[in-house]
Structure 1
Amino acid sequence: MLYRFKSQATADLVMLVADAQGALRLIGKDLTPEGVISPDQLPWAIDILQHAWREDNDLGLREDTYATEQLAEQDDENPDVRLSQRLVPLVNMLELANKAQVAVVWSAS
């Protein structure tokens, strides 16, 4: 299942269900098949997601120091994509919608 985020300010954004639901939980939204982040909710949602991004990124930097030492021995492993990387497109969409003062809606399919 996928979640599609739409806004008049940007192109559509498609996210995997786990990533989209994680982001929606962070901003306190119910995990409904359809919903909206209104223009007045956008600044708060952006702040929450940016805070989560910073925390996850800081954790990743600390882990990367250790992982770099480990990867020297195991070149064939691919690191997982972190939460902070998965949030970037959604945060960008919310920022552009906030500048345009338009809502962001989502639907699950």
Structure 2
Amino acid sequence: MLYKFKSQEAADVIMLKPSAEEILKIIGKTPGPTGIVTAEQAPAAVAALKAEIAQREAHGQSQAAPTNAEEARAQAEKDQVAQQDLVSLRQRAAPFIELLERSSAAGKDVVWGV
């Protein structure tokens, strides 16, 4: 399933269901076939997304270096799993953040499924 986010102020943003639902949960919206982020809600949504991005990036960079072979092996396994998620939240959310910022500045809502 695809989510198509629309605004009268900017181009549509289309996302696959898993990415869109993750972003909607971060901004406090219930994923579903239809919805709205009002112009008044958009600044808080942008702030929530940027805070989550910063937290994830800080968490990824704050891991200490392994001190023994067992820890190194465990870290290598975690790194391999992390490589499967090659597109970061920052990259996935950037078009949506821009849509929210432009729409909010113009006083327009962002809708999906309408």
- TM-score range (shorter-chain normalised) is 0.7 to 0.9
Matches within 5 A, 1:6-45: 6-45=6-45
For the residue of structure 1 that corresponds to 2:90, the secondary structure is helix
Measure the CA separation in 2 of the matches of 1:79 and 1:22.
14
1:96 aligns with 2:102: yes
% of aligned pairs identical?
A: 35
Gaps of 5+ in 1: 71-76
State the match for 1:74 in structure 2: none
For the residue of structure 2 that corresponds to 1:14, the secondary structure is strand
Taking only aligned residues, the RMSD between alpha carbons, in angstroms, comes to 2.3
For the residue of structure 1 that corresponds to 2:112, the secondary structure is strand
Whichever structure has more strand as a proportion of its residues is 1
- Listed one character per residue, the Cα deviations across residues 78-105 of structure 1 (whole Å, up to 9, x for unaligned) are 8711112111111111011111010000
- Listed one character per residue, the Cα deviations across residues 26-64 of structure 1 (whole Å, up to 9, x for unaligned) are 11111120100011111111110111121223334457x
Query: Number of matched residues?
Result: 98
